[in-house]
Amino acid sequence: MTFVRLGTRRSALAMSQSSWVADRVRALGHDVELVEITTEGDVSGELLTAIGGTGVFAAAIRHAVRERRIDCAVHSLKDLPTAPEEDLLIAAIPTREDSRDVLVARDGLTLGELPPGSVVGTGSPRRAAQLAALGLGLEVRPIRGNVDTRLGLVTSGALDAVVLARAGLARLGRLAHVTEVLDPIQVLPAAGQGALAAECRADRADVIAALAPLDDIDTRTCVSAERAVLAALEAGCTAPIGALAEVVDGEDGLELSLRAVVGTEDGATLLRRSLVGPYTEPEALGARLAQILLEDGAADLRGPTPADTHPPEHVS
C-alpha cells in the first residue's frame, strides 16, 4: 500500500475531479489524503489572460508536487500547458468523459432556436470563433466564473445562454441544465477536453505504480494527438484552436481520426482540417495536421491578446 497526498484546487469542480481519482486509487488498496491548494487564478479578480492564462492553475499545484508537500496533482488536461516538464510525469490519464460542449439556454432552447441578437456567454475564444462562424446572428459575450456562476447568468436572465464543457457539468451533477449537446461539426472542443491528468514527480516510482492502473490507453492516445496539434499551432499562431481525436476501425486495425479547427475570434475565418493515421503514432499525426493548418494560413490568423476581454477556457 502507498500513501498518496493528492493535491487539488478548492473549487467544486476541481474537488469533484480529485475525489473521483482518489476513490479509484483507494479502491486499488492505497491510502489517499486530499490536500487543498490555492492558486493565483483562484484568488485574483483579474481576467486570466492578464495573469498568465490557464497555466496559473497548474503552476501552484506543480510547485507543491516539486516541494513534496503533495505526492500527486489532478489537473483538467485541457488546462495543462503542452510544454513538457522533465521532472514531472503524467502517470495516469483516466477514461475520458464526453468531450463535447453543451448549450444551457433559457426556456429550453437549442442553438438554432435562439433568436438573432440573443446573448450567449462563454469564457473561450475557441467557442466564440465557432459560434460566430455559424452565422446565427448571436451576440457572444465574454464571461468568467465557476460552473454555477455561469449557469446563474442564464437563470437570472442576464444572458440568454451559455456554452460549457459537458464533462464539467457531468462531474458536478448538473446535466439537467443542458438544453443541447453541441455536435463537434458545429463546435469542436478544446484539446484534451473531458480528460483528467494525474501528475507526480518523475522520481516517485511508488506513486507512479499506484496511479498506473487508472491510465486508459485510448484516452491517452487521443489526447496525445490533440495536444500535439495544440503544441505545434501555439508555436506558429495565436488564433483560437480546437482539436478532437477518435479511435476508429481501419482496414489494418485501429486508427486515429483527428480533426482540428483554427479561426479568428469573430468567426470571419475558420480553417477546419482532418487526418486519419496510425493509432500508434498520435504525436506524429497531430504534428502533421498542425503543419497542414499552418500551410493553409493558420500562421496568419491572429487571436486574442492579453488586452482583449475574453478569458481562456478554464471554468472550474
Longest CA span, the chain: 59
**Residue 218 φ then ψ, to 5°:** -65, -45
Structural domains of the chain, with CATH? 3-94+195-215 (3.40.190.10), 101-181 (3.40.190.10), 223-300 (3.30.160.40)
Bridge partners of 169, per DSSP, are none
Provide DSSP, 141-158.
Answer: EE--S-HHHHHHHHHTTS
Number of residues written out for the chain: 316
- The residue annotated as part of the active site, out of 71, 79, 101, 160, is 79
Q: Quick one: pLDDT at residue 38?
A: 78
Q: Quick one: pLDDT at residue 48?
A: 44
Q: Quick one: pLDDT at residue 307?
A: 43
Cβ(209)–Cβ(198) below 8 Å: no
Q: Quick one: pLDDT at residue 279?
A: 97
SS3 305: coil
Please give the single-letter amino acid code of residue 227: R
Give the pLDDT of the chain (316 residues) as one tens digit per residue: 899 999 998 889 999 999 999 999 999 999 999 999 976 554 444 444 443 445 567 888 999 999 999 999 999 999 899 998 999 999 999 999 999 999 999 999 999 999 999 999 999 999 999 999 999 999 999 998 899 999 999 999 999 999 999 999 999 999 999 999 999 999 999 999 999 999 999 999 999 999 999 999 999 999 999 999 999 998 767 789 999 999 999 988 999 999 999 999 999 999 999 999 999 999 999 999 999 999 999 988 876 654 444 344 544 4
Q: Is residue 79 annotated as part of the catalytic site, yes or no?
A: yes
